[in-house]
Amino acid sequence: MLRGFKYLALLVLGLAFSTCKKEKKQVPESNSDCLTYPEVNAGAGFDLGFKGYHISHVYTEVMNPIFNPTNENEFIYSKKEFDTTTLVDNYSLWKFNLETGNSIKLLAHLPFEMDSPIVFTSDGRIVYVVDRGIFSIMDADGNNQQKFHSFGMNVSNLIINRSMSKMVMSWVIGASSKTVLYYLDGSQSDTFFYGVDGFTFLEGDFSGTDSIATLSSALDYFGVSVVDLAHDSMIPIFKKPVGGGERTRNVKWHPDNETLFFTNDQDGIYKYKAGQLTLVKPHCDNKMYGKLSISPSGQKMVVERYNRTKISDTRLEVSSHIAIMNIDGTEEQVLDLE
């Protein structure tokens, strides 16, 4: 069985290149740098949030890191900035090299927000959206752009297996989500419908054996399940009641095809293997984690990190970063992307 998937994010229009050279400023960290903030009563306000504080945001955001499966030292990420000329958000796609510390801008303008798919293929190419339902593919350096697939509708979820033989995409139709498994040689496709009683499927990831790990959602919980395409089965492995808007974020297979990693808003980064669930990297009052990606060797992961900095007795400032750490959560470093 299959469900609706919401895989990573991006849609694309233009291409530009810009290299930023900088000194490396990464400082190893651990959870020993966690701070505890007291509960406060900051009064009324639309910006009230964590522990009763007023919340301010640093507007520029970096997000959605994805390792190049052919290069241990390279990942792409997206960036959101406010365009003072058009007075709207601008999204762009960047590549970062861990050895040189250089950032290269691959795509300068993304026509939609980040809730649309971008996928790194097993041979190191990038599949991305250029318009609603229209996908292109390009090399990791931004060259050789060409049409990849067209669906004639706005696709919200896309995953591609590592052999580039199968692709799963989905979209919402009324109260149900439609998910289609395509064979890229054009020989066959299978269609599935789900979405009853508020239950939907979100982001997913193919393993090397073509099992799919997927995030699932219902009215009262977020969870993680594994879908076995060969045996038409689904195994739930994690459920977390929804409280205060917490959710479970993107799930990723380790290259061993046996271990899963995912992030829960309430707790932190989890690892699941052979029935054992381990909290690898817990959130702190002053930092929390988001979407993650695992290096080709399986030794490192890059992850969204959101710092909450106390700037007054009643106000916290939230800033967006990307961090790299060992797969067990040790030796965390915040990367200086620009």
Task: Tell me the per-residue pLDDT of 238-254, one tens digit each, with 9 for 90 and over.
Answer: 877 766 556 777 889 99
pLDDT for the residue numbered 12: 27
Residue 54, pLDDT above cutoff 90 = yes
Pair of tokens at residue 286: 């002053």
- Average the pLDDT over each of 18-32, 138-152, 264-278, 288-302 and give the range with the smallest value: 18-32
pLDDT for the residue numbered 260: 94
Residue 6, pLDDT above cutoff 50 = no
Q: What is the pLDDT of residues 98-117, one digit of tens each?
A: 999 999 999 887 655 545 66
Confidence at 269, pLDDT banded by 50, 70, 90: very high
Once rounded to an integer, what is the mean pLDDT over residues 274-279? 92
Domain range annotation of the chain: 19-334
How far, in Å, CA of 7 to CA of 214, rounded?
Answer: 9
Computed over its alpha carbons, how large is the radius of gyration of the chain?
A: 20
Supply the DSSP symbol for 50: G
pLDDT for the residue numbered 15: 28
pLDDT for the residue numbered 178: 67
Once rounded to an integer, what is the mean pLDDT over residues 190-219? 67
Once rounded to an integer, what is the mean pLDDT over residues 250-278? 92
The label of the residue with tokens 């945001």 reads 57
Once rounded to an integer, what is the mean pLDDT over residues 84-93? 81
Which CATH homologous superfamily contains domain 19-334?
TolB, C-terminal domain (2.120.10.30)
Q: What is the pLDDT of residues 114-171, one digit of tens each?
A: 456 678 888 889 887 777 677 788 999 889 988 887 766 666 677 888 778 888 777 6
Which residues contact residue 230 at a Cβ distance below 8 angstroms, ignoring those fewer than 6 apart? 210
Confidence at 257, pLDDT banded by 50, 70, 90: very high
Which residues contact residue 94 at a Cβ distance below 8 angstroms, ignoring those fewer than 6 apart? 76, 77, 78, 79, 103, 104, 105, 106, 337
Residues shown for the chain: 338
* Per-residue b or e along 165-186, where b marks 16 or more CB atoms closer than 10 Å to that residue's CB: ebbbbbbeeeeebbbbbbeeee
Express as a percent the part of the chain with pLDDT over 90: 38
Residue 258, pLDDT above cutoff 90 = yes
β-strands 134-138, 157-160 pairing: unpaired
Pair of tokens at residue 47: 């910006």
Q: Which residues, in sequence order, are bridge partners of residue 56? A: 317
pLDDT for the residue numbered 276: 92
pLDDT for the residue numbered 301: 98
How many other CB atoms are found less than 10 A from the CB of residue 224?
23
Best-predicted range by mean pLDDT (59-63, 164-168, 204-208): 59-63
Once rounded to an integer, what is the mean pLDDT over residues 183-188? 76
Once rounded to an integer, what is the mean pLDDT over residues 291-309? 96
Which residues contact residue 137 at a Cβ distance below 8 angstroms, ignoring those fewer than 6 apart? 121, 125, 126, 127, 128, 145, 146, 147, 148
